Amino acid sequence: MKRINLISLAAIFMLTFSLSAADTLPRPDGKEADMSKPVQVYILMGQSNMLTFGKKKMLEASCKDGKYPYLMDDSGAWTVRKDVRNIQVMGSGDGKARTLKNEWMTVSGNVGVEMGIGHYLGNVVDAPVMILKSAIGNRSLGWDLLPPGSPRYSFEGAEQPGYKETIKSKKDKTIVPFVKGGDCLQWYAGLQYDGDVRRAKEVLDNLAKHYPGATKFEVAGFFWWQGDKDFRNKAHAAMYEKNLVNLIKALRKDFNAPNAKFVAATLGQTKKDAGGTLGQILNAKMAVADYSKYPAHKGNVATVYTNPVIKGGSSSGHYSGNAETYMNVGELMGKAMVDLLKK
């Protein structure tokens, strides 16, 4: 049973919680949310880690073995949350959005981290919740998803494009401002960021189409699971921390959500003592949640360390489609967001 009272005042959330991170999630009660309150929107972004690669058949077997009991009822049917909408849109660059999910939170195909996240938030927030995923695979934070405000920089003597910059051609590596139709490559640093943000905003501009009966919303938080492409590029790995800090600022600005919480997850295959570019990505994610280094992040930014909960494989192979990996990481991310909301 929900016991959370949420009052919105100047985008400040005052919450009380009855569910601890150690509690087992109950099955949804089938009740609708209090529609007099704004929909609390949580935006999920990243690359292929953030997509739905957890195999449904594998999840079904896990549930029948007693795992994730909140997903399946006694008859073996998937439960449905009537207080959490599951929305997923996808597009390449600035392309048109494809709507992949627009439904109540339930298992209707392969799953991603949204399942654990949605159930945790649905159980503690006494308001309508929307899980809004806007992401596509094979994108780097250092190039495709580079956030606004990221300047040009030099790495090992070579200039690297800043936001909305590109290179003239594959032969001529001169960095130039991007001009559509101009003498440059038709992809700029940050193009995927701009497209993912725009597609998410299009969902919110058509709120009632995606959350029946809703008339108002607040962006309450962001979830980020990404980094596979960046560890393959030394310059992008070296800049990951700075880019991630800029990303947090940019998302809050673009969605007019200065108090929105931010939760990142590490790549599952990477251990805390890892070296090389994989270690750089992990250390960058851990650093943004180091409040001694970033005091402004205290109580509103968290990073979850996922290596202990994955069931084999790596981000490069989508963890072999193991549904338990996606469920476990989603639960960790959901718990972390709940903890931030408590603060």
Q: Hey, how many other C-beta atoms are within 10 angstroms of the C-beta on 52? A: 22
CATH value at residue 25 = 3.40.50.1110
Q: Fill in the amino acid letter for 116.
A: G
Distance CA 85, CA 106 (A): 9
Give me Rg for the CA atoms of the chain. Answer: 20
Reported as a pLDDT band with limits 50, 70 and 90, residue 21 is very low
User: 127 with 259, same domain?
Assistant: yes
In sequence order, the 6+-apart residues with CB closer than 8 A to the CB of 155 are 234, 235, 238, 239
User: 174 with 201, same domain?
Assistant: no
pLDDT at residue 15 is higher than 50: no
Q: Which residue has the higher pLDDT, 173 or 156?
A: 156
User: 214 with 335, same domain?
Assistant: yes
pLDDT at residue 157 is higher than 60: yes
Model's pTM, two decimal places?
0.92
User: 96 with 25, same domain?
Assistant: yes
Print the domain residue range for 183: 151-188
Rounded mean pLDDT, 318-331: 98
pLDDT at 168: 84
Number of structural domains (the chain) is 2
Is residue 1 assigned to a domain?
Answer: no
pLDDT at residue 149 is higher than 60: yes
Please provide the distance, in angstroms rounded to a whole number, between the alpha carbons at the two ends of the chain.
21
pLDDT at 20: 40
Residue for token digits 């009740």?
Answer: 31
User: 92 with 181, same domain?
Assistant: no
pLDDT at 61: 98
User: 270 with 167, same domain?
Assistant: no
pLDDT at 170: 77
User: 180 with 262, same domain?
Assistant: no
pLDDT at residue 188 is higher than 80: yes
Average pLDDT over the chain reads 92
314: Cα separation from own chain's centroid:
18
Q: Fill in the amino acid letter for 331.
A: E
Residue for token digits 């600035």?
Answer: 94
Reference 291, options 340, 250, 258, 337; nearest CA is 340
